[in-house]
Amino acid sequence: MKKKRYFSRGVLTLIAFTFAILFLLPTVLTITNSFMTQSEITANYGQIFQNAASDAKSFISKTINLKFIPDKVSFSQYFTVLLKSPDYLLKFWNSVILVVPIVLAQLMVASIAAYGFTRWRGRVRDGIFFAYVILMLMPYQVTLVPNYLVSDWLGILNTRWAIILPGAFAPFSVFLLTKFMRRIPKSLIESAKLDGAGEWQIFWYICLPQCRSALYSIAILVFIDYWNMVEQPLILLPNADMQPLSVYLSKINAGEIGVAFAVAVIYMIPGLLLFLHGEAYLVEGIAYSGSVKG
């Protein structure tokens, strides 16, 4: 019986390891290929991009060479991105300017709304929270047209506010933080009230410190979600000079594929660092939030 259990664990571990390798291969390929010269990239993958760039349908006769180790390490792609082409850095900072306010605003709105949903109960509250759940289940493509119409009516279309305002009031963070905040013992809040604490003190000194892991997990998930957005800027922000790097990456032509590798590596660094910094909080926040009944 024990041998059978060890065998099943070994098989599951092997399957999980195989899937982990398969999922990591594109990332590893992107990082290693960013240190290749443009001539080596063209020699390895040029046939793909030449056929992708042309309208004519042609048969690819040459075998594509997937290389993980460059013949000669070169930093020319990074030199082009960081020094020769300021457009890439401009788009990068456009992403930062759009995403950071959305993350901070969502944390602020979600904290206040979740505290309200936790402290006050009733049919009105249940109805509003149910509406939040319905909105959370709807894909953002469904709300893209209403957001466009409202932004046009408010006169903020083709401005950063058309991206920031809808992102600041997204329902997912409110739902997740509410489920987490409800696990705070009521006795802790009642003790604070007996000591003379008001609602603001309870919110600031009792609830928020207890929700640190949930706030970290929300910040990471929201950052990654909006860091990779493409559809919203394309529709709500037609001005190419204000669009984030995620949109610019999707428009890089076949002749700049080496630069695209380098830009992709630079683009994944902020999200990767944020994930590594708050990985433990992310797992704890999602686990606790999903285990609490509303």
User: Which long-range contacts does 6-11 make (Cβ < 8 Å, 24+ apart)?
Assistant: none
pLDDT band at 3 (very low <50, low <70, confident <90, very high): low
Residue type, 169: F
Cα(271)–Cα(229) distance, rounded to whole angstroms? 13
Express as a percent the part of the chain with pLDDT over 90.
12
- The chain-wide mean pLDDT, for the chain, equals 81
Whole-structure pTM over 0.85, yes or no? no
pLDDT band at 252 (very low <50, low <70, confident <90, very high): low
- Would the pLDDT of 108 be above 80? yes
- Give me the pLDDT at residue 36, please: 83
Between CA 210 and CA 218, with CA 216 as vertex, the angle to 5 degrees is: 105
Phi, psi angle pair for 244, to nearest 5°: -75, 175
- Give me the pLDDT at residue 62, please: 55
Express as a percent the part of the chain with pLDDT over 70.
85
pLDDT digits over 184-211, tens only? Answer: 888 888 888 888 888 888 888 888 888 8
Task: Summarize the confidence of residues 136-141 as an average pLDDT.
Answer: 79
